[in-house]
Amino acid sequence: MEDLRRFSELLHGESIETLSKEAPAVAYEAFHSDWLFHHTERVVFWSQRLAEEKNLRGDSFHAVTFSAWVHDIGRTVDPERHAEIGAVWVEELLRSRGVPENIVSIAVDAVRNHGTSATPKTDTGHILRLADALAVCDPMFVGMYAPVLEEEDRKKVLKMVEKKWKVVEEYGREDLIDLRTTIRLLEG
């Protein structure tokens, strides 16, 4: 929990727009693993693209961006319970900064419900859940790490891709990723 307090101190903004611009510094500081930081960058990319498709603007767009940057922040405390831990942190942080309650609610929903078996209640939550799945399946992301993975790790990543692909299919967005390329990269 000490890390989460430190991350809060890195953020000075009092609007969701400013916080969304400051959030990359927190993600960079939080994720000591290049893999997790690059995953987060891809989640931000996909979240913003999907938000633009839905014509989200203003605070709604910034809430998507902020949520994407910090969606895995709870991993610094407990990887198994990271979504819930992250949601609590987001809620406390945004409320302490006076962010409007409707924006707090959608950001919390997004972080809490970005997992494969989750059920988001908001558009932002659905965007983040799909973006997280797309980021894992993205050949651009997988291609950065596949060449250096040991065989056992390749198998683990392939299982994770298969699990996340089910989320992509659930949303009917198979058009966004070439899964065959991702699998070829992992099979070597």
Task: Output the pTM of the full model.
Answer: 0.95
pLDDT value of residue 3? 83
Averages of pLDDT over each 10 residues, the chain, 188 residues: 87 94 94 88 98 97 98 95 97 97 98 96 97 97 93 94 97 97 92
Q: Using the CB atoms, write b or e for 140-161: b if 16+ within 10 Å.
A: ebbeebbeebeeeebeebbeeb
pLDDT value of residue 83? 97
pLDDT value of residue 34? 83
Instruction: For residue 41, count other CB atoms closer than 10 A to its CB.
Output: 18
Distance between CA atoms of residues 60 and 125, nearest Å: 11
40 touches 23 (CB < 8 A) = no
Q: Which residues make Cβ contacts (< 8 Å) with residue 147, sequence separation at least 6?
A: none
Coil, strand or helix at 122? coil
Q: Name the CA dihedral angle for 44, 39, 157, 137, rounded to a multiple of 10 degrees.
A: 30
pLDDT value of residue 33? 76
CATH number of 2-132: 1.10.3210.10
Distance between CA atoms of residues 40 and 113, nearest Å: 16
pLDDT value of residue 2? 79
What residue segments make up the domains of the chain, in order of their start?
2-132
